Homo-oligomer: A and B are copies of this chain.
Amino acid sequence: MGVTIHDVARAAGVSVASASRALSGRRKVTPEIAERVSRAAAELGYQPNAVAKALRDRTTGTIGMIVPGIGNPFFTTIVEAVEHQLQETGRDLLLCASQYRPDVEARRLETLLARRVDGLIISPCDIEASVPAVLNAARRVPLVQVDRYIEGGGADWVGVDDDSALAQAVEHVAAGGARVVTFVGSRLMNSSARSRLSGFERAAARAGVNATAPLLGEFTLEWGIEAGRLLLDGDTMPDAVVCGNDEIAVGLVRALRTGGVRVPDDVSVVGFDDVGHAAMCDPPLTTVRQPVEEMAAEAVRLLGQVRVSDPRPAQRVAIAPRLVVRETSRPVAAGGANGMGKGRGTA
């Protein structure tokens, strides 16, 4: 182990400079030298040392990525798409999980910076607590936020257009006859939670439906189930529920059905993400599909645009999602509201 370019040069009977030039092909060398060098390299099993090259070039060909949790299917999908984009351009992915904790996030940011990544893609775990570390990192290296972002708008971002997303969801259930609709999401510690809720409220106002008090917990199946029970125990059951993600929606549907409420006959449920098993759960979930591939491509593209030295206004790219209608929502009502807004169905 450890055949260097010096060894290759010696074996080929040329200088290291010629060997380097021949190997990289970026400068002219006589065909004969090129031949001798590549033969020597092959015989010795030479493999360039990317670390040395990185030190010399001040470029590692490496992108750091930090997501709250790798296990979350939504982030997994983004990671996969980003990795794919990077492969196209010959770069590699240094992946970290912040475990939803701003302190570990800050630490990971430091080590990634120490490794001299060429850029950073991050989904900050906390809209407030993540601010200093993210802003500091953005000052040192091209950085783009994906999905979640920090408050204040100091760094580039690419994500889904939550307003459009919630508008589609609300209009869809309204068209199905819903008059009273509830939003079930997550507590407002991250940007997605916030913008989805406000998107929902705006959309509800615009569509003229009655938005009841939102139920806010976690982005988990468990919370979906609990929210379902809360609805069951409350005195009015909405005509439709719009959820902050698919996990919540699946849990909610389950709890509702267990409680004797029919979905979609009694209440329509709409999810968010369309990642993982939304299509394969039973019944298949009506949900808003995040344009993950586009988001990843855009993030990688943006990374190439950013010049840390010459700060321009932070870019915000919101990609319009698409509502995917499946079987947890009522189809468009024939003649407006169908009159069964209040009251619980008898299963």
Task: Report chain B residues within 8 Å CB of A73.
Answer: 73, 76, 276
A84-B69 Cα distance, complex, nearest whole Å: 10
User: What residues of chain B lie closer than 8 Å to A52, measured between beta carbons?
Assistant: 55
Contact of A49 among B70, B94, B112, B114 (CB under 8 A): B114
Task: Check B116 against A51 for contact (C-beta < 8 Å).
Answer: yes
The 8 A CB mask of A270-299 against B (1 = contact, 0 = none) is 000000110011100000000000000000
Note all chain B residues with C-beta closer than 8 A to A49. Answer: 55, 114, 116
Q: Are A77 and B71 in contact (CB under 8 A)?
A: yes
Interface of chain A residues 289 through 325 with chain B (CB within 8 A): 308
Q: Let me know if A47 and B114 touch, CB within 8 A.
A: yes
- Count, chain A residues at interface, CB 8 A: 48
**6 tightest CB-CB pairs across the interface, nearest first?**
A70-B80, A50-B114, A50-B115, A95-B95, A277-B277, A76-B76
Interface residues of A (CB under 8 A from B): 1, 47-52, 54-55, 60, 62, 69-71, 73, 76-77, 79-80, 83-84, 87, 90, 92-97, 104, 110-116, 140, 221, 250-251, 254, 276-277, 280-282, 308
